[in-house]
Amino acid sequence: MSAQQVKGPVNAAMMAGVAALVIGGGLALASLMSNGHAAFNTGSSGITWGLPVVGYVFFVLTSTGLTFVASLAMVFGIKEFYPVAKRCIWLALVTLIAGFTCLALELGHPFRMLWAIPTSFQYLSPLNWMGLFYAAYMVLLLLKFQKINGGDWNSSGSRMLGIASFASVVVAHGTLGGVFGAMAMRPMWYGPIIPLYFLLTAAVSGAAFAVLITYLTYGNESFMPAKVKNLMTGAMPKVFAAALGIVILAVVSRTIIGLWSNADGLQVWDHVVASPWYWIELILMIAAFVMLAKGGAPFFPSIMVIVSLFIGRYEFLISGQAVPLFKGSWVTGLIDYVPSMTEWMIILLAVGIVLAGWAFGEKSLNLAAEPAEK
């Protein structure tokens, strides 16, 4: 397994990634240093958690999903998934770092967080648990990657690490779901099923990224080793389609319940379905599902699903805050919000981290490796 098998645009991805990192990171940091968070379009009478938090949720849930895909092989023993397992673990690390970067740039005091959360330990706060479990997950992922990078796939230690990282991310994503699901005062988010909804959408997000990156690695199916090709034309699109189908049902059901119910705060759903973005989100998902169900290559569906999920995360985050709480004539009607350039630059930075991080791994960490046949 080596670099000559890589026929895809890895070098181009590396260059694009570094460019995005430098431009996005440079502009975001310059603007944050001169204006602070006033460079964001968020506000106390407006949207409190803006685009960087959307990016955070999008990337950490993608990381979650990638770990699920790798775990199909490493925890559940479905051997077909071994050819993408190492790549998924690496990408899970990279997307997790991208997500954390978005969040760190959104916090008022990111460095203070490092001591203030562990020393205070507010056990009632979902955010506390989310931090704890995502931190544990990150450490476990690193250790697991180190093991398989050293060729140790199946020692009991390595297997335990695989199981532990899977377990930690199930809990971590659940607490992230809890951050929103526990908010009874924000009915758009509220509900015990939200962690489950996050789990489903995370799985789809992970599958989409796993497909996309595999295609980018090899260029197209004709350059894929037989096992990878089998996976990409066999089990992968099936799993992907099944998870996507459930997500479509979940989105539709959330919409109908949201439109039907009278709880104060849910009136935002009228606004959600009046937006073309909602329909783009839904149509992309359904079209991707149909393409997968017809047995087509999963490459284009993966891109469509990634775009759709990003729109979905944005819609979830922003609409959940769009009905003002006791703002009187400061805000009449729903809160308007358009992310600022600085906020977009943070997303560009995160995309840069993912692209460059992946390309780096592909070039120097032999991501195509899999356990030796017994």
Partner 1 sequence: MARWGMVIDLDKCTGCQACSTACQMENNRLPGENYQDVLYYTEGKQPTPVLKWFPRPCMHCEEPSCMHVCPTKATFKTEDGVVLIDWNKCIGCKYCMIACPYGVRFYTDEKPLVEPDIKSVFPGEGDLSWNPPYKGPQQDNAHGVGIQPHGVVSKCTFCYHKISKAPKGIADLSNDDAANREYVPACVRTCAPTARYFGDLDNPNSNVSRLISDKRGVRLLDHTGNKPQVYYLSGGAGPAVPSGRGGANKA
**How many other CB atoms sit within 10 Å of the CB of residue 198?**
25
Please tell me whether residue 153 binds partner 1 under the rule CB under 8 A.
no
Write down the least CB distance from residue 36 to partner 1, Å.
4
Cα 341 from Cα 187, distance rounded (Å) = 30
| Options 44, 156, 222, 262; binder of partner 1; rule CB under 8 A | 44
| Binding of residue 126 to partner 1 (CB under 8 A) | yes
- Our finding on whether 154 is near partner 1 (CB under 8 A) is no
Question: Which residue type is seen at 231?
Answer: L
Buried b (16+ CB within 10 A) or exposed e, 12-51: ebbebbeebbeebbebbeebbeeeeeebbbbeeebbebbb
Looking at the Cβ atoms of 75 and 127, the one nearer to partner 1 is: 127
- Are 211 and 299 in contact by the 8 Å Cβ rule? The answer is yes
Residue from 75, 97, 113, 334 binding partner 1 (CB under 8 A)? 113
131 binds partner 1 (CB under 8 A): yes
321 contacts partner 1 (rule: CB under 8 A): yes
Nearer to partner 1 among residue 11 and residue 45 (C-beta): 45
Residue from the set 261, 325, 336, 341 that interacts with partner 1 by CB under 8 A: 325
Q: Of 6 and 335, which CB lies nearer to partner 1 in the complex structure?
A: 335
Q: Please report whether residue 333 would count as binding partner 1 according to CB under 8 A.
A: no
Q: 219, 202, 303: which is closest to 13 by C-alpha?
A: 219
Instruction: Rank residues 69 and 105 by Cβ distance to partner 1 and give the closer one.
Output: 105
Q: 152: which 2 tokens?
A: 């140790």
Query: One symbol per residue from 21 to 40: x for binding partner 1 (CB under 8 A), - otherwise; what is it?
Result: ---------------xxx-x
- The whole-angstrom separation of Cα 203 and Cα 209 is 10
Any contact of residue 328 with partner 1 (CB under 8 A)?
yes
In the chain, where does DSSP find H-type helix? 10-35, 51-74, 82-106, 110-120, 126-149, 156-181, 194-218, 226-233, 235-260, 268-274, 276-293, 299-319, 341-364
Q: Cα–Cα distance between 181 and 256 in angstroms, integer?
A: 18
- Contact with partner 1 (CB under 8 A) among 11, 30, 48, 257: 48
Chain residues in the site for partner 1 (CB under 8 A)? 36-38, 40-45, 48-49, 107-110, 112-113, 116-117, 120-122, 124-128, 131, 179, 182-186, 321, 324-330, 332
